[in-house]
Amino acid sequence: MQGNKYEIRFRRFGIATIIAVFFLIFVGGLVRSTGSGMGCPDWPKCFGQYVPPTNISQLPEDYKTKFAVQGKEIADFDVFKTWVEYLNRLVGVVIGFLVFLTIVFAYPYLKTKPKIFWLSFLAFILVGIQGWIGSKVVSSDLATWMITIHMVIALVIVALLIYTVAASQEFYIKQFKKDSSLKWLISVALIVSLIQIISGTQVREKVDHVAKLFGEAYRTQWATFFMEEIIFKFHRSWSIISLGISILLIFKYRNLFERDSLIYRNGLGIVLLMCAQALSGSILVNLGFPKEVTSIHLTLGSIIAGMQLFAAILVFNKTKLIAN
């Protein structure tokens, strides 16, 4: 990357923050899939402590009623669930500091490229809102719609950071010939991806509902309770459409750009990750929704969406038509 030391610092912290948000999405998925959301029943502390307990002996005898949520006793103390939720909160705090430093290093852009500074500032505000939403998730006893909002805000933060980091770079990709359908197809890919994410959150809510009804004893049979529902079929079919569009884009990239160009490599990465996500989806349905795979499936979808946004930025703003 070229640029002065402030520009380089901004990009480095921006990229580090993007990676941290993706890690937070993975941990958040793990929190949800392992049922660790109430591992810390209060907020911002955990069982009234800044560092959560590692043993039930560190809690008062009446902890289940003392830390009751919405008037209901909490579940028995589980050290794994407590520390998974605590890690989730710690990563959120780290992201807050990283985004703040990103704003500091975005300050030199205030005069030359003000949108970079203000979008970085907006990302910081959203991190604060994300923390507040996290507290509401706990106080609502893990309301599914609150969890979905929590996830959507994380994706918006990623989108803002990807845009600001890409906009801060003055590189261009050589385009050998004009293709009016390329931008249209990129736009369709983004819309399809957004619909895919939304339908995925609806499927996840169905899984949560089935899990509450039938419990862990019937985990391997969860899929049979909702596989015939429209939302599941829609989500599965839409993923095939999304993959098809991405493969079509690869062929377009091959004709329009150099094989070692950033946009072509990004397109290949998207297709490979989509295949990996499809595999993880198949594992979820056929092997009883393994908890770690649930988080991987969610994180892969988020990374794919981020890479598709990056591709759109490259095509719309970073290509330069040249003669053959």
Among the candidates 170, 192, 216, a domain finishes at: 170
Beta-carbon contacts of 198 under 8 Å, excluding residues fewer than 6 positions away, are none
40/165 same-domain check? yes
Q: Average pLDDT of the chain?
A: 85
197/150 same-domain check? no
Containing structural domain, residue 280: 172-324
pTM of the model: 0.85
47/137 same-domain check? yes
193/274 same-domain check? yes
Q: What pLDDT was estimated at residue 1?
A: 45
Question: pLDDT tens digit string along 191-249?
Answer: 998 888 888 888 887 887 787 787 777 777 777 877 778 888 888 888 899 999 999 99
222/295 same-domain check? yes
Q: What pLDDT was estimated at residue 138?
A: 61
pLDDT band at 129 (very low <50, low <70, confident <90, very high): confident
Among the candidates 170, 201, 228, a domain finishes at: 170
195/162 same-domain check? no
19/123 same-domain check? yes
Question: pLDDT tens digit string along 50-99?
Answer: 899 899 888 888 888 888 877 677 778 889 989 998 998 888 888 888 88
Among the candidates 145, 170, 195, a domain finishes at: 170
111/227 same-domain check? no
